[in-house]
Chain A
Amino acid sequence: EAGVTQSPTHLIKTRGQQATLRCSPISGHTSVYWYQQALGLGLQFLLWYDEGEERNRGNFPPRFSGRQFPNYSSELNVNALELEDSALYLCASSLERGAGYGYTFGSGTRLTVV
Chain B
Amino acid sequence: GENVEQHPSTLSVQEGDSAVIKCTYSDSASNYFPWYKQELGKRPQLIIDIRSNVGEKKDQRIAVTLNKTAKHFSLHITETQPEDSAVYFCAASKGGSYIPTFGRGTSLIVHP
Contacts and interface: CB of A to CB of B under 8 A. Distances in A.
Interface stretch (A13-21, A37-45, A60-68, A69-77): A37-45
Contacts of A43: 44, 89, 102, 105
B61 interface: no
Nearest to A97: B97
Contacts of B76: none
A48 B99 contact: yes
B43 A108 contact: yes
Given A43-B89, A90-B43, A101 B102 contact: no
Interface residues of B, number: 23
B96 A98 contact: yes
A2 to B, nearest CB: 14
Given A105-B45, A107-B42, A100 B103 contact: no
Interface in B5-48: 32, 34, 36, 42-46
Contact of B103 (A42, A99, A101, A108): A42
Contacts of B46: 95, 102-104
A56 interface: yes
B104 A98 contact: no
A102 B34 contact: yes
B102 A105 contact: no
Contacts of A98: 95-98
A25 interface: no
B86 to A, nearest CB: 14
Interface string B73-112: 0000000000000000100011111111111110000000
A49 interface: no
Nearest to A58: B99
Interface string A80-114: 00000000001000010111111111111000000
| Best-surrounded residue of A33, A97, A98, A104 (most CB of chain B within 10 A) | A98
Given A102-B34, A103-B34, 9 more contacts: A33-B99, A42-B89, A42-B104, A43-B102, A43-B105, A97-B97, A98-B95, A100-B96, A103-B46
